[in-house]
A = this chain, B = another copy of it.
Amino acid sequence: MEAFMTSDLTGLWPPSDPSKTHLPSSSQPFNQETLQQRLQQLIEGARESWTYAIFWQSSCDYSGASLLGWGDGYYKGEGDKGKAKIKTSSAVEQEHRKKVLRELNSLISGSTAPTDDSVDEEVTDTEWFFLVSMTQSFFVNGGGLPAQAFFSSSPIWVCGPERLMNSGCERARQGQVFGLQTMVCIPLANGVVEVGSTEVIVQNSDLMNKVRFLFNFNGMDIGSWPSSMQNPDQANNNPQISKGIQFENPSSTSLTENPKELNFSEYAYDHRNGNSHLLKPESGEILNFAESKRTEESNKKKRSPTSRGSNDEGMLSFTSVVKSSGGGGDSDHSDLEASVVKEVDSSRIVEPEKKPRKRGRKPANGREEPLNHVEAERQRREKLNQRFYALRAVVPNVSKMDKASLLGDAISYINELKSKLVNAESDKEDLQTQLESMKQEFDLKMSSHASKLIDMDIEVKVIGWDAMIRIQSSKKNHPAAKLMAALKELDLEVHHASMSVVNELMIQQATVKMGSRFYTQEQLKNILVAKVGDSR
Protein backbone atom coordinates (compact mmCIF):
# COMPACT_ATOMS: atom_id res chain seq x y z
CA MET A 1 0.00 0.00 0.00
CA GLU A 2 2.65 2.45 1.02
CA ALA A 3 4.78 1.66 -1.91
CA PHE A 4 1.84 1.96 -4.15
CA MET A 5 1.10 5.39 -2.94
CA THR A 6 4.48 6.95 -2.72
CA SER A 7 6.21 5.63 -5.75
CA ASP A 8 3.93 4.21 -8.33
CA LEU A 9 1.27 6.81 -8.54
CA THR A 10 3.16 9.27 -10.57
CA GLY A 11 3.23 7.52 -13.80
CA LEU A 12 0.29 5.28 -13.32
CA TRP A 13 -2.63 7.46 -12.66
CA PRO A 14 -4.00 8.58 -15.98
CA PRO A 15 -4.41 12.30 -15.43
CA SER A 16 -0.88 12.60 -14.15
CA ASP A 17 0.44 12.04 -17.63
CA PRO A 18 -0.45 15.08 -19.66
CA SER A 19 -0.25 13.20 -22.92
CA LYS A 20 -3.01 10.86 -21.85
CA THR A 21 -5.35 13.30 -20.33
CA HIS A 22 -8.07 14.94 -22.25
CA LEU A 23 -7.20 18.21 -20.70
CA PRO A 24 -4.99 20.36 -22.85
CA SER A 25 -2.34 21.95 -20.70
CA SER A 26 -2.62 25.70 -20.56
CA SER A 27 0.90 26.18 -19.33
CA GLN A 28 3.61 23.64 -19.53
CA PRO A 29 3.35 21.11 -16.72
CA PHE A 30 6.12 20.41 -14.33
CA ASN A 31 8.40 17.60 -15.12
CA GLN A 32 6.67 14.63 -13.59
CA GLU A 33 9.64 13.00 -11.94
CA THR A 34 10.74 16.12 -10.19
CA LEU A 35 7.19 17.14 -9.47
CA GLN A 36 6.61 14.34 -7.06
CA GLN A 37 10.08 14.74 -5.65
CA ARG A 38 9.31 18.32 -4.91
CA LEU A 39 6.06 17.48 -3.23
CA GLN A 40 7.96 15.00 -1.16
CA GLN A 41 10.67 17.47 -0.30
CA LEU A 42 8.04 19.97 0.61
CA ILE A 43 6.58 17.96 3.43
CA GLU A 44 9.29 15.49 4.35
CA GLY A 45 11.70 18.15 5.46
CA ALA A 46 9.16 20.30 7.21
CA ARG A 47 9.08 20.94 10.90
CA GLU A 48 5.38 20.35 10.98
CA SER A 49 4.04 16.96 10.17
CA TRP A 50 2.05 17.25 7.00
CA THR A 51 0.12 14.23 5.90
CA TYR A 52 0.08 14.72 2.17
CA ALA A 53 0.84 17.16 -0.60
CA ILE A 54 -1.02 17.48 -3.86
CA PHE A 55 -0.35 19.54 -6.91
CA TRP A 56 -3.48 20.61 -8.71
CA GLN A 57 -2.66 21.31 -12.31
CA SER A 58 -4.45 24.13 -14.05
CA SER A 59 -5.80 23.44 -17.49
CA CYS A 60 -8.75 24.16 -19.75
CA ASP A 61 -11.48 21.86 -20.86
CA TYR A 62 -12.87 22.01 -24.35
CA SER A 63 -15.30 24.70 -23.51
CA GLY A 64 -12.43 26.91 -22.44
CA ALA A 65 -13.37 27.00 -18.78
CA SER A 66 -10.37 26.85 -16.52
CA LEU A 67 -10.07 23.70 -14.48
CA LEU A 68 -7.87 22.40 -11.73
CA GLY A 69 -7.18 18.69 -11.92
CA TRP A 70 -4.89 16.18 -10.30
CA GLY A 71 -1.31 16.94 -11.19
CA ASP A 72 0.55 14.74 -8.78
CA GLY A 73 0.58 13.92 -5.13
CA TYR A 74 2.70 12.60 -2.35
CA TYR A 75 1.26 10.87 0.66
CA LYS A 76 3.40 10.78 3.75
CA GLY A 77 0.94 9.53 6.33
CA GLU A 78 0.14 10.63 9.83
CA GLY A 79 2.92 11.67 12.15
CA ASP A 80 2.55 8.87 14.65
CA LYS A 81 1.97 6.05 12.30
CA GLY A 82 1.95 3.09 14.57
CA LYS A 83 -0.76 4.01 16.95
CA ALA A 84 -2.65 6.57 15.00
CA LYS A 85 -4.24 4.29 12.49
CA ILE A 86 -7.52 4.76 14.11
CA LYS A 87 -10.08 2.54 12.60
CA THR A 88 -12.85 4.99 12.40
CA SER A 89 -14.11 3.47 9.25
CA SER A 90 -16.30 0.44 9.44
CA ALA A 91 -15.42 -2.98 8.05
CA VAL A 92 -17.88 -2.40 5.28
CA GLU A 93 -16.27 0.83 4.43
CA GLN A 94 -12.85 -0.84 4.51
CA GLU A 95 -14.03 -3.48 2.11
CA HIS A 96 -15.39 -0.87 -0.17
CA ARG A 97 -12.16 1.04 -0.15
CA LYS A 98 -10.09 -2.03 -0.82
CA LYS A 99 -12.32 -3.02 -3.63
CA VAL A 100 -12.05 0.34 -5.27
CA LEU A 101 -8.32 0.28 -4.85
CA ARG A 102 -8.07 -3.14 -6.37
CA GLU A 103 -10.09 -2.05 -9.32
CA LEU A 104 -8.00 1.01 -9.70
CA ASN A 105 -4.88 -0.99 -9.54
CA SER A 106 -5.99 -3.45 -12.12
CA LEU A 107 -7.06 -0.62 -14.30
CA ILE A 108 -3.61 0.83 -14.11
CA SER A 109 -1.34 -2.17 -14.27
CA GLY A 110 -3.59 -4.40 -16.34
CA SER A 111 -3.02 -7.37 -14.08
CA THR A 112 -4.74 -8.08 -10.80
CA ALA A 113 -2.54 -10.73 -9.30
CA PRO A 114 0.47 -8.91 -7.94
CA THR A 115 -1.34 -5.90 -6.66
CA ASP A 116 -3.79 -7.72 -4.47
CA ASP A 117 -1.29 -7.88 -1.68
CA SER A 118 -0.81 -4.20 -1.57
CA VAL A 119 -4.49 -3.65 -0.99
CA ASP A 120 -4.75 -6.03 1.89
CA GLU A 121 -3.77 -3.50 4.47
CA GLU A 122 -6.19 -1.20 6.07
CA VAL A 123 -6.81 1.99 4.21
CA THR A 124 -6.78 4.86 6.64
CA ASP A 125 -9.07 7.78 6.36
CA THR A 126 -6.44 10.16 5.17
CA GLU A 127 -5.09 7.66 2.69
CA TRP A 128 -8.51 7.30 1.33
CA PHE A 129 -9.05 11.01 1.20
CA PHE A 130 -5.79 11.34 -0.65
CA LEU A 131 -6.71 8.64 -3.10
CA VAL A 132 -10.13 9.93 -3.93
CA SER A 133 -8.58 13.31 -4.49
CA MET A 134 -7.12 11.97 -7.68
CA THR A 135 -10.52 11.83 -9.23
CA GLN A 136 -11.44 15.35 -8.34
CA SER A 137 -11.21 18.55 -10.24
CA PHE A 138 -12.37 22.07 -9.66
CA PHE A 139 -13.60 24.88 -11.78
CA VAL A 140 -11.50 27.82 -10.86
CA ASN A 141 -14.48 30.13 -10.70
CA GLY A 142 -16.46 27.60 -8.78
CA GLY A 143 -16.08 26.56 -5.20
CA GLY A 144 -13.38 24.60 -3.51
CA LEU A 145 -10.30 25.68 -1.63
CA PRO A 146 -7.82 25.04 -4.45
CA ALA A 147 -9.96 26.97 -6.89
CA GLN A 148 -10.38 29.85 -4.49
CA ALA A 149 -6.66 30.02 -3.94
CA PHE A 150 -5.96 29.86 -7.63
CA PHE A 151 -8.57 32.40 -8.54
CA SER A 152 -7.52 34.89 -5.94
CA SER A 153 -3.82 34.18 -6.39
CA SER A 154 -3.43 34.18 -2.64
CA PRO A 155 -2.82 31.28 -0.31
CA ILE A 156 -5.57 29.93 1.85
CA TRP A 157 -4.80 28.44 5.20
CA VAL A 158 -7.57 26.71 7.07
CA CYS A 159 -7.03 25.03 10.40
CA GLY A 160 -9.26 23.69 13.06
CA PRO A 161 -12.35 21.58 12.56
CA GLU A 162 -14.83 24.44 12.66
CA ARG A 163 -12.98 26.45 10.10
CA LEU A 164 -12.74 23.49 7.83
CA MET A 165 -16.43 22.89 8.17
CA ASN A 166 -17.29 26.53 7.67
CA SER A 167 -14.93 27.21 4.84
CA GLY A 168 -17.70 26.76 2.36
CA CYS A 169 -15.66 24.17 0.54
CA GLU A 170 -16.95 20.67 0.15
CA ARG A 171 -13.45 19.29 -0.10
CA ALA A 172 -12.46 20.89 3.17
CA ARG A 173 -15.53 19.53 4.87
CA GLN A 174 -14.71 16.10 3.58
CA GLY A 175 -11.12 16.47 4.71
CA GLN A 176 -12.32 17.33 8.16
CA VAL A 177 -14.51 14.26 8.21
CA PHE A 178 -11.52 12.16 7.27
CA GLY A 179 -9.50 13.52 10.15
CA LEU A 180 -7.70 16.46 8.68
CA GLN A 181 -7.26 19.47 10.87
CA THR A 182 -5.29 21.72 8.58
CA MET A 183 -5.53 22.32 4.87
CA VAL A 184 -3.49 24.80 2.93
CA CYS A 185 -3.73 25.80 -0.71
CA ILE A 186 -0.97 27.82 -2.26
CA PRO A 187 -1.46 29.10 -5.78
CA LEU A 188 1.25 28.89 -8.43
CA ALA A 189 1.36 30.13 -11.96
CA ASN A 190 0.04 26.89 -13.39
CA GLY A 191 -1.75 25.25 -10.54
CA VAL A 192 -2.15 24.98 -6.83
CA VAL A 193 -0.20 23.13 -4.18
CA GLU A 194 -2.37 21.70 -1.47
CA VAL A 195 -1.03 20.24 1.73
CA GLY A 196 -2.97 18.79 4.58
CA SER A 197 -2.34 17.53 8.06
CA THR A 198 -4.15 15.67 10.75
CA GLU A 199 -2.70 18.13 13.21
CA VAL A 200 -3.55 21.72 13.78
CA ILE A 201 -0.78 23.73 12.21
CA VAL A 202 -0.95 27.46 12.53
CA GLN A 203 -0.10 29.60 9.61
CA ASN A 204 3.55 30.29 9.01
CA SER A 205 5.58 31.47 6.10
CA ASP A 206 7.92 28.52 6.22
CA LEU A 207 5.71 26.47 4.00
CA MET A 208 5.06 29.36 1.65
CA ASN A 209 8.73 30.00 1.22
CA LYS A 210 9.38 26.37 0.57
CA VAL A 211 6.69 26.17 -2.05
CA ARG A 212 7.92 29.29 -3.68
CA PHE A 213 11.39 27.89 -3.68
CA LEU A 214 10.53 24.43 -4.89
CA PHE A 215 8.00 25.39 -7.50
CA ASN A 216 8.18 28.92 -8.65
CA PHE A 217 11.90 29.13 -9.14
CA ASN A 218 12.53 25.81 -10.69
CA GLY A 219 14.67 27.23 -13.44
CA MET A 220 18.10 28.69 -13.28
CA ASP A 221 17.85 29.88 -9.76
CA ILE A 222 17.42 26.58 -8.12
CA GLY A 223 21.07 25.71 -8.44
CA SER A 224 22.63 28.96 -7.49
CA TRP A 225 20.58 29.83 -4.47
CA PRO A 226 21.60 27.28 -1.98
CA SER A 227 25.29 27.61 -2.60
CA SER A 228 25.34 31.34 -2.45
CA MET A 229 23.50 31.06 0.79
CA GLN A 230 25.94 28.80 2.43
CA ASN A 231 29.36 29.92 1.48
CA PRO A 232 30.43 33.23 2.85
CA ASP A 233 33.12 33.58 0.25
CA GLN A 234 30.64 33.34 -2.49
CA ALA A 235 28.02 35.58 -1.14
CA ASN A 236 28.29 38.70 -3.06
CA ASN A 237 26.33 41.75 -3.92
CA ASN A 238 28.13 43.15 -6.89
CA PRO A 239 27.00 41.21 -9.87
CA GLN A 240 29.52 42.65 -12.23
CA ILE A 241 32.60 41.37 -10.50
CA SER A 242 31.39 38.23 -8.98
CA LYS A 243 33.61 36.60 -11.57
CA GLY A 244 35.77 34.31 -9.58
CA ILE A 245 38.00 36.44 -7.62
CA GLN A 246 36.66 35.96 -4.18
CA PHE A 247 35.47 32.46 -4.68
CA GLU A 248 37.13 29.91 -2.58
CA ASN A 249 34.73 27.11 -3.09
CA PRO A 250 36.46 24.44 -5.10
CA SER A 251 33.23 23.17 -6.53
CA SER A 252 32.51 26.22 -8.57
CA THR A 253 35.98 27.11 -9.61
CA SER A 254 36.76 25.45 -12.83
CA LEU A 255 38.80 28.46 -13.71
CA THR A 256 40.00 29.53 -10.34
CA GLU A 257 42.28 27.58 -8.16
CA ASN A 258 42.68 27.05 -4.51
CA PRO A 259 44.34 30.20 -3.25
CA LYS A 260 46.26 28.21 -0.70
CA GLU A 261 48.38 26.71 -3.38
CA LEU A 262 47.87 28.23 -6.73
CA ASN A 263 47.15 31.88 -6.84
CA PHE A 264 46.51 34.17 -9.68
CA SER A 265 47.29 31.57 -12.21
CA GLU A 266 44.43 32.81 -14.25
CA TYR A 267 45.92 36.19 -14.37
CA ALA A 268 49.28 34.87 -15.25
CA TYR A 269 47.65 32.76 -17.84
CA ASP A 270 45.82 35.68 -19.27
CA HIS A 271 49.02 37.45 -19.64
CA ARG A 272 50.79 34.78 -21.45
CA ASN A 273 47.90 34.86 -23.79
CA GLY A 274 48.78 38.41 -24.46
CA ASN A 275 47.22 41.35 -22.77
CA SER A 276 43.76 40.04 -22.40
CA HIS A 277 41.16 42.71 -22.43
CA LEU A 278 38.94 40.68 -20.21
CA LEU A 279 40.16 42.31 -17.09
CA LYS A 280 41.24 45.82 -17.50
CA PRO A 281 43.36 47.05 -14.67
CA GLU A 282 41.35 50.21 -14.32
CA SER A 283 38.04 48.57 -13.78
CA GLY A 284 39.36 46.08 -11.34
CA GLU A 285 41.28 48.44 -9.27
CA ILE A 286 38.50 49.77 -7.15
CA LEU A 287 37.20 46.41 -6.30
CA ASN A 288 40.29 44.38 -5.92
CA PHE A 289 42.69 45.03 -3.21
CA ALA A 290 45.64 43.43 -4.74
CA GLU A 291 45.03 42.28 -8.24
CA SER A 292 44.63 45.47 -10.12
CA LYS A 293 48.21 46.43 -10.04
CA ARG A 294 49.43 42.99 -10.40
CA THR A 295 48.00 42.58 -13.82
CA GLU A 296 50.26 45.22 -15.12
CA GLU A 297 53.11 44.05 -13.09
CA SER A 298 53.16 40.58 -14.29
CA ASN A 299 54.12 41.89 -17.66
CA LYS A 300 57.43 42.77 -16.21
CA LYS A 301 57.77 40.14 -13.66
CA LYS A 302 56.31 36.71 -14.08
CA ARG A 303 55.01 36.00 -10.67
CA SER A 304 56.01 32.69 -9.23
CA PRO A 305 54.86 30.06 -11.65
CA THR A 306 57.08 27.71 -9.68
CA SER A 307 54.70 26.33 -7.18
CA ARG A 308 51.74 26.66 -9.42
CA GLY A 309 50.13 24.13 -11.60
CA SER A 310 51.05 25.80 -14.80
CA ASN A 311 51.03 23.53 -17.77
CA ASP A 312 52.61 25.91 -20.13
CA GLU A 313 55.41 24.01 -21.80
CA GLY A 314 58.23 26.52 -22.08
CA MET A 315 57.64 27.73 -18.61
CA LEU A 316 57.37 24.35 -17.19
CA SER A 317 60.72 22.99 -18.16
CA PHE A 318 62.43 26.02 -16.92
CA THR A 319 60.61 26.11 -13.70
CA SER A 320 61.16 22.53 -12.83
CA VAL A 321 64.89 22.83 -13.19
CA VAL A 322 65.22 25.74 -10.90
CA LYS A 323 62.84 24.37 -8.42
CA SER A 324 64.32 20.93 -8.22
CA SER A 325 67.72 22.35 -7.53
CA GLY A 326 66.43 23.26 -4.13
CA GLY A 327 66.23 26.92 -4.87
CA GLY A 328 69.97 27.23 -4.68
CA GLY A 329 70.54 30.13 -7.00
CA ASP A 330 68.53 33.24 -7.11
CA SER A 331 65.47 31.21 -7.56
CA ASP A 332 63.48 34.16 -6.52
CA HIS A 333 64.40 35.54 -9.84
CA SER A 334 63.62 32.38 -11.58
CA ASP A 335 60.09 33.32 -12.31
CA LEU A 336 61.26 36.72 -13.10
CA GLU A 337 63.65 35.46 -15.66
CA ALA A 338 60.97 33.27 -17.02
CA SER A 339 58.81 36.13 -17.93
CA VAL A 340 61.73 38.03 -19.17
CA VAL A 341 62.61 35.14 -21.37
CA LYS A 342 59.19 35.27 -22.84
CA GLU A 343 59.34 38.90 -23.40
CA VAL A 344 62.70 38.45 -24.91
CA ASP A 345 60.97 36.91 -27.80
CA SER A 346 58.90 39.93 -28.36
CA SER A 347 61.01 42.76 -27.05
CA ARG A 348 64.37 42.73 -25.26
CA ILE A 349 66.68 40.98 -22.88
CA VAL A 350 67.97 40.80 -19.36
CA GLU A 351 67.45 44.20 -17.74
CA PRO A 352 65.49 43.35 -14.60
CA GLU A 353 64.77 46.96 -13.61
CA LYS A 354 63.52 48.20 -16.88
CA LYS A 355 60.85 50.32 -15.29
CA PRO A 356 60.30 51.19 -11.68
CA ARG A 357 56.83 49.76 -11.90
CA LYS A 358 57.22 47.10 -9.32
CA ARG A 359 55.78 47.89 -5.97
CA GLY A 360 57.26 47.56 -2.59
CA ARG A 361 60.67 46.42 -1.71
CA LYS A 362 62.86 44.78 -4.29
CA PRO A 363 63.77 41.23 -3.51
CA ALA A 364 66.85 40.73 -1.45
CA ASN A 365 68.60 38.56 -3.92
CA GLY A 366 70.93 35.75 -3.09
CA ARG A 367 68.95 33.90 -0.51
CA GLU A 368 67.51 30.45 -0.42
CA GLU A 369 64.93 30.53 2.35
CA PRO A 370 63.13 33.72 1.45
CA LEU A 371 61.83 32.35 -1.78
CA ASN A 372 59.38 30.04 -0.20
CA HIS A 373 58.74 32.46 2.54
CA VAL A 374 57.96 35.21 0.14
CA GLU A 375 55.55 33.01 -1.68
CA ALA A 376 53.87 31.96 1.51
CA GLU A 377 53.52 35.52 2.59
CA ARG A 378 52.10 36.41 -0.75
CA GLN A 379 49.49 33.78 -0.33
CA ARG A 380 48.66 34.89 3.11
CA ARG A 381 48.11 38.40 1.91
CA GLU A 382 46.07 37.15 -0.92
CA LYS A 383 43.88 35.13 1.37
CA LEU A 384 43.37 38.11 3.56
CA ASN A 385 42.46 40.22 0.62
CA GLN A 386 39.96 37.74 -0.57
CA ARG A 387 38.38 37.73 2.82
CA PHE A 388 38.26 41.45 2.72
CA TYR A 389 36.68 41.24 -0.60
CA ALA A 390 34.10 38.76 0.60
CA LEU A 391 33.38 40.87 3.61
CA ARG A 392 32.83 43.76 1.32
CA ALA A 393 30.22 41.72 -0.43
CA VAL A 394 28.15 40.98 2.64
CA VAL A 395 28.27 44.41 4.18
CA PRO A 396 25.95 46.83 2.46
CA ASN A 397 26.75 50.43 1.64
CA VAL A 398 30.50 50.23 1.61
CA SER A 399 31.47 51.25 -1.86
CA LYS A 400 34.96 52.46 -2.59
CA MET A 401 36.14 52.41 0.95
CA ASP A 402 39.48 51.47 2.39
CA LYS A 403 40.09 48.47 4.52
CA ALA A 404 39.84 50.26 7.81
CA SER A 405 36.52 51.81 6.95
CA LEU A 406 35.32 48.53 5.65
CA LEU A 407 36.09 46.90 8.94
CA GLY A 408 34.46 49.71 10.81
CA ASP A 409 31.38 49.48 8.70
CA ALA A 410 31.29 45.75 9.11
CA ILE A 411 31.41 46.18 12.85
CA SER A 412 28.63 48.67 12.98
CA TYR A 413 26.67 46.59 10.56
CA ILE A 414 27.00 43.60 12.81
CA ASN A 415 25.84 45.65 15.73
CA GLU A 416 22.99 46.97 13.73
CA LEU A 417 21.96 43.47 12.81
CA LYS A 418 22.30 42.36 16.36
CA SER A 419 20.10 45.05 17.75
CA LYS A 420 17.59 44.57 15.01
CA LEU A 421 17.52 40.92 15.85
CA VAL A 422 17.04 41.61 19.51
CA ASN A 423 14.26 44.01 18.67
CA ALA A 424 12.59 41.56 16.40
CA GLU A 425 12.82 38.89 19.03
CA SER A 426 11.25 41.04 21.66
CA ASP A 427 8.58 42.09 19.23
CA LYS A 428 7.96 38.45 18.62
CA GLU A 429 7.63 37.87 22.30
CA ASP A 430 5.23 40.74 22.63
CA LEU A 431 3.09 39.35 19.90
CA GLN A 432 3.24 35.95 21.48
CA THR A 433 2.08 37.18 24.82
CA GLN A 434 -0.55 39.27 23.16
CA LEU A 435 -1.74 36.18 21.39
CA GLU A 436 -1.77 34.24 24.63
CA SER A 437 -3.76 36.83 26.45
CA MET A 438 -6.09 37.04 23.51
CA LYS A 439 -6.69 33.35 23.70
CA GLN A 440 -7.43 33.64 27.36
CA GLU A 441 -9.77 36.53 26.83
CA PHE A 442 -11.43 34.40 24.26
CA ASP A 443 -12.07 31.74 26.83
CA LEU A 444 -13.27 34.41 29.16
CA LYS A 445 -15.83 35.80 26.77
CA MET A 446 -16.93 32.43 25.61
CA SER A 447 -17.49 31.28 29.10
CA SER A 448 -20.29 33.69 29.85
CA HIS A 449 -22.40 31.97 27.25
CA ALA A 450 -20.98 28.51 27.49
CA SER A 451 -21.67 28.23 31.17
CA LYS A 452 -25.37 28.16 30.45
CA LEU A 453 -25.02 25.43 27.93
CA ILE A 454 -22.94 22.93 29.79
CA ASP A 455 -24.45 21.14 32.69
CA MET A 456 -21.94 21.94 35.33
CA ASP A 457 -21.73 23.48 38.71
CA ILE A 458 -18.52 25.28 39.51
CA GLU A 459 -17.33 27.20 42.50
CA VAL A 460 -14.08 29.08 42.80
CA LYS A 461 -12.69 30.86 45.80
CA VAL A 462 -9.53 32.88 45.61
CA ILE A 463 -7.60 33.72 48.75
CA GLY A 464 -4.44 35.64 48.02
CA TRP A 465 -2.52 33.52 45.58
CA ASP A 466 -4.31 30.39 46.56
CA ALA A 467 -7.54 29.18 45.08
CA MET A 468 -10.09 26.58 45.96
CA ILE A 469 -11.97 24.93 43.14
CA ARG A 470 -15.07 22.78 43.29
CA ILE A 471 -16.63 21.33 40.18
CA GLN A 472 -19.69 19.19 39.88
CA SER A 473 -20.40 17.81 36.45
CA SER A 474 -21.28 14.81 34.40
CA LYS A 475 -18.62 12.15 34.51
CA LYS A 476 -18.65 12.06 30.74
CA ASN A 477 -15.81 13.39 28.63
CA HIS A 478 -13.20 12.99 31.32
CA PRO A 479 -13.77 16.19 33.24
CA ALA A 480 -10.91 15.34 35.57
CA ALA A 481 -8.45 15.22 32.73
CA LYS A 482 -9.78 18.49 31.44
CA LEU A 483 -9.51 20.14 34.80
CA MET A 484 -5.96 18.99 35.30
CA ALA A 485 -5.01 20.08 31.83
CA ALA A 486 -6.54 23.45 32.52
CA LEU A 487 -4.66 23.80 35.78
CA LYS A 488 -1.46 22.97 34.03
CA GLU A 489 -2.16 25.42 31.28
CA LEU A 490 -2.99 28.17 33.72
CA ASP A 491 0.15 27.46 35.67
CA LEU A 492 -1.75 26.59 38.80
CA GLU A 493 0.13 24.34 41.12
CA VAL A 494 -2.01 21.64 42.67
CA HIS A 495 -1.76 21.36 46.42
CA HIS A 496 -4.53 18.97 46.92
CA ALA A 497 -7.19 17.45 44.74
CA SER A 498 -9.87 14.83 45.01
CA MET A 499 -12.52 13.49 42.70
CA SER A 500 -15.32 11.09 43.29
CA VAL A 501 -18.15 9.75 41.19
CA VAL A 502 -21.69 9.38 42.44
CA ASN A 503 -23.97 7.80 39.90
CA GLU A 504 -23.35 9.82 36.77
CA LEU A 505 -22.03 12.80 38.65
CA MET A 506 -18.40 13.62 39.21
CA ILE A 507 -17.41 15.90 42.00
CA GLN A 508 -13.96 17.39 41.85
CA GLN A 509 -12.27 19.48 44.44
CA ALA A 510 -8.85 21.07 44.29
CA THR A 511 -6.78 23.63 46.09
CA VAL A 512 -4.15 25.26 43.98
CA LYS A 513 -1.57 27.99 44.10
CA MET A 514 -1.16 30.50 41.35
CA GLY A 515 2.18 30.61 39.63
CA SER A 516 3.23 33.18 37.12
CA ARG A 517 -0.07 34.96 36.81
CA PHE A 518 -2.72 36.21 39.09
CA TYR A 519 -6.35 35.49 38.39
CA THR A 520 -9.33 36.99 40.06
CA GLN A 521 -12.09 34.79 41.28
CA GLU A 522 -14.30 35.64 38.31
CA GLN A 523 -11.52 35.19 35.82
CA LEU A 524 -10.56 31.84 37.14
CA LYS A 525 -14.12 30.65 37.28
CA ASN A 526 -14.85 31.78 33.76
CA ILE A 527 -11.75 30.22 32.35
CA LEU A 528 -12.39 26.94 34.09
CA VAL A 529 -15.99 26.89 32.97
CA ALA A 530 -14.78 27.35 29.43
CA LYS A 531 -12.07 24.79 29.59
CA VAL A 532 -13.67 22.07 31.62
CA GLY A 533 -17.14 22.70 30.31
CA ASP A 534 -15.95 22.43 26.77
CA SER A 535 -17.86 19.50 25.38
CA ARG A 536 -15.08 18.36 23.08
Q: Which positions in A face B, CB cutoff 8 Å? A: 141, 148, 151-152, 154, 156, 163, 166-168, 202-206, 209, 229, 232-233, 235, 245-246, 248, 259-260, 263, 361, 380, 383-384, 387-388, 390-391, 394-395, 403-405, 407-408, 410-415, 417-435, 437-439, 441-442, 445-446, 449, 462, 464-465, 514, 516-518, 520-523
CA separation between A233 and B405, bound complex, in Å? 12
Chain B residue nearest to A419 (CB atoms) is B248
Give the residue among A206, A424, A522, A523 with the most B Cβ atoms within 10 A.
A424
What are 7 sample pairs from A and B whose C-beta atoms fall under 8 A apart? Answer: A152-B514, A152-B516, A168-B523, A229-B415, A233-B408, A246-B419, A438-B438
Whether A259 contacts B411 in the complex (CB less than 8 A), given A404-B380, A417-B417, comes out as yes
CA separation between A248 and B141, bound complex, in Å? 52
CA separation between A205 and B430, bound complex, in Å? 6
Identify which of B166, B405, B411 contacts A520 (C-beta below 8 A).
B166
**Is there an interface contact between A407 and B391, defined as CB atoms closer than 8 Å?**
yes
CB distance from A448 to the nearest CB of B (A): 9
Whether A430 contacts B388 in the complex (CB less than 8 A), given A232-B415, A260-B408, comes out as no
Q: Which residues of B contact A464 (CB under 8 A)?
A: 141
By secondary structure, the A interface counts as helix
How many copies of this kind of chain does the complex include?
A: 2
**Is there an interface contact between B168 and A522, defined as CB atoms closer than 8 Å?**
yes
Chain B residue nearest to A430 (CB atoms) is B204
**Is there an interface contact between A387 and B415, defined as CB atoms closer than 8 Å?**
no
Give the residue among A141, A152, A407 with the most B Cβ atoms within 10 A.
A407
Give me the 7 closest cross-chain CB pairs, A-B, nearest first: A168-B520, A387-B407, A232-B411, A424-B424, A431-B431, A417-B417, A246-B422
Identify which of B229, B404, B419 contacts A387 (C-beta below 8 A).
B404
CB distance from A466 to the nearest CB of B (A): 11
**Is there an interface contact between B235 and A418, defined as CB atoms closer than 8 Å?**
yes
Q: Which residues of B contact A446 (CB under 8 A)?
A: 445
CA separation between A403 and B441, bound complex, in Å? 55
Give the residue among A404, A419, A522 with the most B Cβ atoms within 10 A.
A404
Identify which of B246, B263, B432 contacts A431 (C-beta below 8 A).
B432
**Is there an interface contact between B414 and A203, defined as CB atoms closer than 8 Å?**
no
**Is there an interface contact between B431 and A411, defined as CB atoms closer than 8 Å?**
no
Identify which of B439, B465, B523 contacts A166 (C-beta below 8 A).
B523
Whether A421 contacts B419 in the complex (CB less than 8 A), given A391-B411, A411-B387, A520-B168, comes out as no
Chain B residue nearest to A515 (CB atoms) is B152
Chain B residue nearest to A464 (CB atoms) is B141
CB distance from A100 to the nearest CB of B (A): 31
Q: Which residues of B contact A395 (CB under 8 A)?
A: 414
**Is there an interface contact between B430 and A427, defined as CB atoms closer than 8 Å?**
no
CA separation between A439 and B437, bound complex, in Å? 12
**Is there an interface contact between A384 and B410, defined as CB atoms closer than 8 Å?**
no
CA separation between A446 and B445, bound complex, in Å? 8
**Is there an interface contact between B426 and A427, defined as CB atoms closer than 8 Å?**
no
Q: Which residues of B contact A413 (CB under 8 A)?
A: 414
**Is there an interface contact between A518 and B414, defined as CB atoms closer than 8 Å?**
no
CB distance from A220 to the nearest CB of B (A): 22
**Is there an interface contact between B391 and A434, defined as CB atoms closer than 8 Å?**
no
Whether A435 contacts B433 in the complex (CB less than 8 A), given A387-B407, A411-B259, comes out as no
Chain B residue nearest to A169 (CB atoms) is B520
Identify which of B154, B229, B233, B383 contacts A516 (C-beta below 8 A).
B154
CB distance from A155 to the nearest CB of B (A): 10
